[in-house]
Structure 1
Amino acid sequence: MQIINDADQAAHKLNVEIETLENLLRDLKSLRSGSFPDKKALASAPLIDQWSLGTRPVPCLYGVISGHPRFRRSEGVTSDVWVMSPNRRFIRTMSRYYRLGVRAGKT
């Protein structure tokens, strides 16, 4: 998740994030078309040994959500938060923008 408060910071941080996501998208499209990494490509990839599958939490927001296109006003949780700008009062999740209202515990 990127937390940004000014345009210069946003440009740098988002350029890095965009490049990472573009690389992921390129690889996913390649896999979808049936093109898997060859031995040469995998030879230079890091090795993960004695591995096991796990899960980890991702940043999200909990709160009272209203104006959502699929759900009526209710308590809920967002999808993964990718960008948060408290100063500009928005977040961008995996699926959409949200406006930030009052933070929990503040009046």
Structure 2
Amino acid sequence: MQIINDADQAAQKLNVEIETLEHLLRDLKRLRSGNFPDKKELATAPLIDQWSVGTRPLPCLYGVISGHPRFRTSEGVTSDVWVMSPNLKFVRTLSRYYRLGVRAETG
């Protein structure tokens, strides 16, 4: 998740994220078309040995969500947060923008 405070900072922080996602999209399209990595390409890839499948938590927001196109007003959780700007009052999740209202009190 990238946290940004102004437009200048957004450009700097998001360039790396955009490049990474563009590479992922390119590879997904390539795989969709049946073009899988060959032995030569995989020879330079890192090796992960004694591996197993796992999960890890991703940033999200919990709160009272209203105006969602698929759900009525209720407490809920967003999809993965990619960019958040408390100063500019928005968050971009995997699926959409949200406006940020009042932050919950902690402790």
The TM tier, using the shorter chain, reads: over 0.9
Deviates more, 1:2-11 or 1:52-61: 2-11
Deviation at residue 8 of structure 1 after TM alignment: 1.8
Match of residue 24 from structure 1: 24
- Structure 2 residue ranges without an equivalent (≥5): none
Distance 1:38 1:76 in 2: 44
Match of residue 44 from structure 1: 44
- SS of 1:92's equivalent in the other structure is strand
Deviation at residue 81 of structure 1 after TM alignment: 0.2
Q: Does 1:15 align with 2:15?
A: yes
Match of residue 56 from structure 2: 56
Identity %: 86
Match of residue 79 from structure 2: 79
Q: In the alignment, residue 26 of structure 1 is paired with which amino acid?
A: R
- SS of 2:48's equivalent in the other structure is coil
Match of residue 102 from structure 1: 102
Q: Deviations over 1:44-89 (max 9, x none)?
A: 1111111110000000000000000000000000000000000000
Distance 1:57 1:90 in 2: 21
Distance 1:25 1:103 in 2: 34
- SS of 2:75's equivalent in the other structure is strand
